[in-house]
Structure 1
């Protein structure tokens, strides 16, 4: 079976157009793939390079060995497509949604357990894996929004879903962050209202994307409640990053001091959840902020502190720290050396562990 025929069949199984497949690759890898080029692949006019095969493997959720021909492609499609690679297509989503409405759906406690699992999985899985799973959950939970607590669940799922899109894409990530904030308001849960806004602010501020939205959501979180919490901490640190990127170093340093004060009260003991900010993660936030400020001593101290407690099962965050060093080199004047250092660190991380945030950080270093 020719590679072009396989790409076409996998794309159709996902319910994607040729342009949709190109967009999915571009969203995940910050590339400029076009519909026309996908068409050339599918007509076997041009063969994808190994780099693009790896990217298609991730986006289409198939083993790279299948795309490279090491596994019989036709047998793979015939024997496995209905289970291993079948996407949550429209008909499945509709069935799931109506079934949830008719049967009542998961209990609130079960939803909280699901959120805890997603919070852990997010730290180690790729954006595409999380995105597909959370999309299905959102279809289910929207059938149960007659309870305020489930608006809180929905708001946190929306925030996680938003994180799977590049923050610079206002039509996707920012739109979901705004909707998550509205959903949290429907819940009447102060902690949820602060948390979803703070999480959005640190996500956008760390990525250096949509800074106006990051500031707005951070300001809203800080106005809702001054009580020390992880949501407030995220909001403060997100606003610190936007200030640093804009060149307002005094405000960034003041916010870092405030963030440390809140962290001292609200820090997490849990180590590996997106809903937690333990010591090592606070130092990852600080490391990048200090690198952006040109404060080498603070950055290096934060990097060393983070490495001492960083769980070994989270290599992506170790890559973040190395790339922060690349940013420091670039900002000190060694632009080529900084970019090369960061790119080497990124290349050492398996492609399936790459994240949208890492790719945006690489763009910032090169710029």
Structure 2
């Protein structure tokens, strides 16, 4: 990173200087701040007084990008700015890869890698198409935080929606909001935000799409958690109608909703509603087509059974069933959503 800055600006920035800055042992002078401001396209006023490592990570690279050290983030940002960064097609290929990897990788690994991508793509946002890329990356990044924390996940989902609006692409605008709604609704967290984002997605376009499908099921889950059974059942029926026209053939991507995955949505929704027959049927349907490479989702289904047991009057048996399923999954495969689901089973 230091050599790239020196070449671009004729500075004498050294690796030792950057290391000391990261450790808050030195404060960059006005010249270096000006270079950073120009290269990262961040107002100088934001950088001034915000140059210790923690503040830089929070305010320049984005909220709570702790897993990546500052030098890596700076290097990614400078490299993208100086080289022009990947093409739009290359970014779309990256998104496709992340969509597949999200299904099996842990939250910490995804968070660390996507944070660096966000620093890079923010240098290329003069291209409207890359606002769409950024919005989808933000949505993926948001999912690495639990919606129940009340701040970080919601912050990123809202910012993703704003970025999607900048793209001018309605498909992206609907998908980002719908994906956030199903994530929050499935987790049973920030239900008001889930409703707002779902309603926005539906208002943007009622054309059957994966984004609309996610929005409908997200709103259905929020209603079920609140105990609004009539609304949840109405939306479940509506969701099936959307799926019939917009379901995916792709089996192993977070950007897809194939037959097995929509049945995972239905399994938890029915378990929350106390509809054992519908839940069991959905679980059986999901297992029949669930790829063996995605054991985490098999764990979801077993934990839904645990929730059914607790709702049928066997809280200790339900908790034990869910805990056994979670413990059987290697820890590195755990997700924040599974941990929140375990908490819901125990709470119920």
Q: TM-score, normalised by structure 2?
A: 0.81
Give the distance between the partners of 2:110 and 2:23, measured in 1 at CA.
Answer: 18
Counterpart pick for 2:108 among 123, 128, 133: 128
Give the distance between the partners of 1:236 and 1:291, measured in 2 at CA.
Answer: 17
- Deviating more after overlay: 96-105 vs 173-182: 96-105
Q: Report the 3-state secondary structure (helix = DSSP H, G, I; strand = E; otherwise coil) of the residue aligned with 1:165.
A: coil
Give the distance between the partners of 1:350 and 1:183, measured in 2 at CA.
Answer: 35
Give the distance between the partners of 2:303 and 2:269, measured in 1 at CA.
Answer: 13
Counterpart pick for 1:252 among 232, 243, 247: 232
How many residues are matched? Answer: 285
Aligned to 1:357: 337
Q: Report the 3-state secondary structure (helix = DSSP H, G, I; strand = E; otherwise coil) of the residue aligned with 1:317.
A: helix
Give the distance between the partners of 1:311 and 1:92, measured in 2 at CA.
Answer: 35
Give the distance between the partners of 2:145 and 2:177, measured in 1 at CA.
Answer: 16
Aligned to 1:326: 306
Aligned to 2:132: 152
Give the distance between the partners of 1:301 and 1:364, measured in 2 at CA.
Answer: 22
Are 1:221 and 2:201 an aligned pair? yes
Aligned to 1:314: 294
Counterpart pick for 1:342 among 290, 302, 322: 322
Aligned to 1:276: 256
Give the distance between the partners of 2:78 and 2:327, measured in 1 at CA.
Answer: 44
In the TM superposition, what is the alpha-carbon distance from 1:152 to its structure 2 partner? 0.2
Correspondences of 1:14-29 after superposition (within 5 Å): none
Q: Report the 3-state secondary structure (helix = DSSP H, G, I; strand = E; otherwise coil) of the residue aligned with 1:168.
A: helix
Q: Report the 3-state secondary structure (helix = DSSP H, G, I; strand = E; otherwise coil) of the residue aligned with 2:162.
A: helix
In the TM superposition, what is the alpha-carbon distance from 1:16 to its structure 2 partner? 10
Give the distance between the partners of 2:232 and 2:322, measured in 1 at CA.
Answer: 24
Give the distance between the partners of 1:144 and 1:156, measured in 2 at CA.
Answer: 15
Quick one: structure 1 residues 336 and 16, their matched pair in 2 at CA, closer, same or farther if it must change by over 3 Å? farther
Are 1:90 and 2:65 an aligned pair? no
Give the distance between the partners of 2:107 and 2:71, measured in 1 at CA.
Answer: 23
Aligned to 1:180: 160
Q: Report the 3-state secondary structure (helix = DSSP H, G, I; strand = E; otherwise coil) of the residue aligned with 1:300.
A: helix
Q: Report the 3-state secondary structure (helix = DSSP H, G, I; strand = E; otherwise coil) of the residue aligned with 1:273.
A: coil
In the TM superposition, what is the alpha-carbon distance from 1:170 to its structure 2 partner? 2.2
Give the distance between the partners of 1:118 and 1:290, measured in 2 at CA.
Answer: 30
Q: CA RMSD in A?
A: 1.4
Give the distance between the partners of 2:267 and 2:23, measured in 1 at CA.
Answer: 39
Give the distance between the partners of 2:198 and 2:150, measured in 1 at CA.
Answer: 17
Give the distance between the partners of 2:150 and 2:126, measured in 1 at CA.
Answer: 29
Cα distance per residue 1:97-134 (max 9 Å; x no partner):
01211110000000000000000000000000000000
Q: Which runs of 5+ in 2 are unaligned?
A: 1-18, 25-66
Aligned to 2:81: 101
Give the distance between the partners of 1:327 and 1:231, measured in 2 at CA.
Answer: 27
Q: Which runs of 5+ in 1 are unaligned?
A: 1-11, 18-86
Are 1:208 and 2:188 an aligned pair? yes
Q: Report the 3-state secondary structure (helix = DSSP H, G, I; strand = E; otherwise coil) of the residue aligned with 2:148.
A: coil
Aligned to 1:7: none
In the TM superposition, what is the alpha-carbon distance from 1:362 to its structure 2 partner? 0.4
Give the distance between the partners of 1:327 and 1:193, measured in 2 at CA.
Answer: 33
Give the distance between the partners of 1:203 and 1:253, measured in 2 at CA.
Answer: 19
Counterpart pick for 1:139 among 91, 94, 119: 119
Give the distance between the partners of 1:117 and 1:286, measured in 2 at CA.
Answer: 26
Cα distance per residue 1:25-55 (max 9 Å; x no partner):
xxxxxxxxxxxxxxxxxxxxxxxxxxxxxxx
Give the distance between the partners of 1:362 and 1:216, measured in 2 at CA.
Answer: 26
Cα distance per residue 1:298-346 (max 9 Å; x no partner):
0000000000000000000000000000000000110111001100111
Give the distance between the partners of 2:338 and 2:133, measured in 1 at CA.
Answer: 27
Counterpart pick for 2:179 among 199, 210, 227: 199
Q: Report the 3-state secondary structure (helix = DSSP H, G, I; strand = E; otherwise coil) of the residue aligned with 1:131.
A: helix
